[in-house]
Amino acid sequence: MPDPQRGRRAEPDDGPPPAADAVETLMARVARGDEQAFGEVYDALAGAVFGLVRRVLRDPVRSEEVTQEVFLQVWQTAPRFDARRGRAKTWILTLAHRRAVDAVRHDQAASDRDARYDWSGGPAYDQVADEVTVRLEHEQVRRCLGTLTELQREAVGLAYYQGHTYAQVAVMLEANPATVKTRLRDGLIRLRDCLGVTA
């Protein structure tokens, strides 16, 4: 999978966009795994995708992340694009809108969950007992992380402790995104079993 972030930002460039039929031709090449064609599609449409996502999400950093996810999806699903059913730009912008709406729902759900479990007004607690419990839990997590393979440990660390997306983790580890997802899933199952967490 090519890295669309390498040397590119999700902003319009100064050059004229390629004609619509040129984008359709490029998409046919992307469907065959042509990385150069993918780069040209990215250059042509990243500004439009970012603009659409930004209008939905507002947050520019989150919008850049979602824009990268959209282009990862374009790369992975390019063989499904059918030029007889519509324009490539329309198809990509539809993917962008769906992913932006999904991101809003996800972020809102996370915010609601945090609000539901807000203990700021809760009862006082025994600070010493709490610190001891946290240290023991951290030690157990460290021990369980030691049971993972190196790739699982790196993937879990990047995704869950540093907050990177699957796509970003795949780029950082120079691994296939599907492999990263599998390693993360297997690693989390192993951690769950080691920590004695019941599903």
CA 41 to chain CA centroid, Å, is: 20
Above pLDDT 70, what percent of the chain? Answer: 73
For residue range 73-107, list pLDDT tens digits in order: 999 999 999 888 889 999 999 999 999 999 889 88
Cα 169–183–63 angle (5° rounding)?
Answer: 30
- For the chain, what are the domain ranges? 20-115, 127-195
For residue 120, the one-letter residue type is S
What is the number of residues in the chain?
199
> What ranges make up the beta strands (E) of the chain?
none
Architecture of domain 20-115: Orthogonal Bundle (1.10)
Architecture of domain 127-195: Orthogonal Bundle (1.10)
Q: What is the mean pLDDT of the chain?
A: 79
Report field, pTM of the whole predicted structure over 0.85:
no
For residue range 151-186, list pLDDT tens digits in order: 777 877 777 667 777 778 788 888 888 887 888 788
